[in-house]
Amino acid sequence: MTENSPFQAIAEALRRGDAASAETLAREALSRSPDNPDLLFPLALSLHMQRKPDAAIPAYRRLTQLQPDSAAHWSNYATALSEVGHDAEAEAAWRQTIVLDPHAAEAHLQLGLVLIARRQYTAARDALLDAFERDRASPRVRIHAANACMLCQDFHGTEDLLEGWGQWLPLHDDALQVELARMLALLADAPGSHLLLADLVARNPAAVDHIIQLARMEERLNLLDSAKTRLSALNGDVLTLSQRAELDRARAVLAERDGDFGAARALLEAAGPAHADDSTHFFLLAKCDDKLGERQACMAALERAHALQKSQHLAVVPDNYSANAAALPARSFHVTPEQYARWPQFRAPETADSPVFVVGFPRSGTTLLEQMLDAHPHLQSMDENPFFDRLANKLRAHDERILDDLSVLRQYDCDELRKRYRLMAGKKIAIRANAQLVDKNPLNLLWLPLIHRLFPKAKCILCLRHSCDVILSCYMQNFRSGLLAAACENLPRLAGAYVQAMQNWLHHAEVFRPDVLVSRYEDLVADFAPQTRRIADFLGLDDATPMLRFDARAREKGYIATPSYTQVIEPVNTKALGRWQRYREWFEPVLPTLQPMLEHWGYSTDPV
């Protein structure tokens, strides 16, 4: 290269940051040497520096044709394609990059992000987990891989990837911090999410998007006054259309919390859905319509919400919606009396050293009971965690046949599973030495065989509520779990899921004969003090007084990781009793399905 060659001039312009001059010089030189890679590359680079990725694409493409074995060229080409939204071509380019340089974590990461954009979530998770295997220390890789797991309903994977996130701070990437905060909120770590969002607002006090996100999280933490103050300081006149809509959505939630359902609905209608798949918008709209007595509008909004939710989950868990799918598509145990008779008898914890298990179909009053128990100084709840799902997954990974015959578990196996359970609990709360754990998870209803194998002397409380009230409340609930969302797709399927779950429980309760107290929601809210005393006596607690003040304790906690978080900070009331009667015309077709359980538990369906 001579001193006067165009290469030196182009390089000098790029070093100065003068991308426009570099582009001019490169084009002039290319007119004399059209396919010179040493000129095509700086041309593409100069265009990229000027934020013209679409103009850079032809140069990058030609470079891959001239030097097809260069992973760098394929990577640059893929980057430009991604930036202009040519996702299919970008995917192909990233895959070729990986063929040429399979150890490059960044290529796997970018492939995963493109696949997410294309809504190919399972493939995206695979690509991003490949990136994680190549760069386990990168918070950026871990956060994006965790998001892919969450999109695939793999919440355990998300949780594992985000473990120790506090050690990654500061992230030096606000968008990544917002993404981490969003996932922590979905994983029930609202305090962690709040910390990250508050940090963003502290560093960027004029950042409207972050302010609204922080206010939404404060509502979730029951910090309502702070959320209102924060939002009231925003001037809608200077916001963009999208920011104004997001502000209206946040204000709608607060108006709903204040009981101003008309204002909440008006704000929601003004804002509209946040995106084409925004099922949450229609769930909240239905909630407002229900409170306003607009039954037809409520059910129409719920039908739309469930349809949108189904379209999202079909991409990840299509089997849950197949024609022959079970009403409740959960893999659970079925143990016959003959199988149980073959179980070896092992050492196991005494009742006082076993958790108290609170079970029941979702929306049966399990959260109310959990908060009551947690208010007692000798009991300690862990919010809602799928510990037995994780233990079952551990067994399944070792040998799926174990789930069909728990008699093969040895003393050592049971001890190790109990240790793992304790470790998982210890990651969620600081376990107090003088307190008995309370494990509240409604769908532990399906895990009674494994619960009984590990904790045969444990006490269980089965929460009951009128089957129709349970079904209506579940249908109105925006469940994160793909399993529950599928079960709640429509009222007939939901009724089938309820009967399936309750029959599963009744069968195994007859086989194992666990120590169970049945707590009816209707009795509890109508006769609170005596029913509380009854529960305390069952658990061997001398003083039931702290349990009577559960709502004060719940307000002190701030964050409650269940859908009932807005209700259990209030004193006990009977407002939710018999609500299904207002929707009787929709329930008439499913009453025959529910009849066996209604009769078993003695609930009437007579009109009132």
Q: What is the pLDDT of residues 324-348, one digit of tens each?
A: 888 887 666 789 999 999 999 999 9
Question: What is the rounded CA–CA span in Å between residue 143 and residue 159?
Answer: 10
Question: Among residues 60, 11, 71, which one has the least CA distance to residue 37?
Answer: 60
Residue 526's H or E segment, with its range, is: helix 521-526
Which residues, including other chains, have CB under 8 Å from residue 104's CB and lie 6 or more apart?
Answer: 71, 75, 97, 98, 134
> What pLDDT sits at residue 563?
59
What angle, 0 to 180 degrees and rounded to 10, lies between the N-to-C axes of helices 19-30 and 37-49?
150
> What pLDDT sits at residue 1?
43
The one-letter code for the residue type at 450 is L
> What pLDDT sits at residue 316?
87
Which residues, including other chains, have CB under 8 Å from residue 186's CB and lie 6 or more apart?
Answer: 150, 155, 158, 480
Question: What is the rounded CA–CA span in Å between residue 402 and residue 107?
Answer: 39
Residue 461's H or E segment, with its range, is: strand 459-464
Work out the number of other CB atoms within 10 angstroms of the CB of residue 394.
13
Using omega within 30 degrees of 0 as the cis cutoff, is the peptide bond preceding 355 cis? Answer: no
Question: What is the rounded CA–CA span in Å between residue 209 and residue 243?
Answer: 7
Asked whether the whole model's pTM tops 0.85, one would answer yes
| Four-residue CA torsion sign, 312, 314, 315, 317 | positive
Question: Among residues 547, 184, 497, 460, which one has the least CA distance to residue 330?
Answer: 497
Is residue 126 within 8 Å of residue 102, measured between CB atoms? no
Residues of the chain below pLDDT 50: 1-3
> What pLDDT sits at residue 3?
46
The three-class DSSP label of residue 400 is helix
Tokens matching residue 119: 């809504």
For domain 337-601, the CATH architecture is 3-Layer(aba) Sandwich (3.40)
> What pLDDT sits at residue 407?
95
> What pLDDT sits at residue 562?
59
> What pLDDT sits at residue 383?
82
Question: Among residues 555, 546, 540, 561, which one has the least CA distance to residue 429?
Answer: 561
Contacts 24+ apart (CB under 8 A), 177-180: 178/210, 178/213, 179/143, 179/144, 179/147, 180/143
List, in sequence order, every beta strand (DSSP E) within 500-543.
515-520
Contacts 24+ apart (CB under 8 A), 301-309: 302/475, 302/476, 304/279, 305/279, 305/280, 305/281, 305/478, 306/279, 306/475, 306/485, 306/488, 306/489, 306/490, 308/277, 308/278, 308/279, 308/282, 309/279, 309/478, 309/485
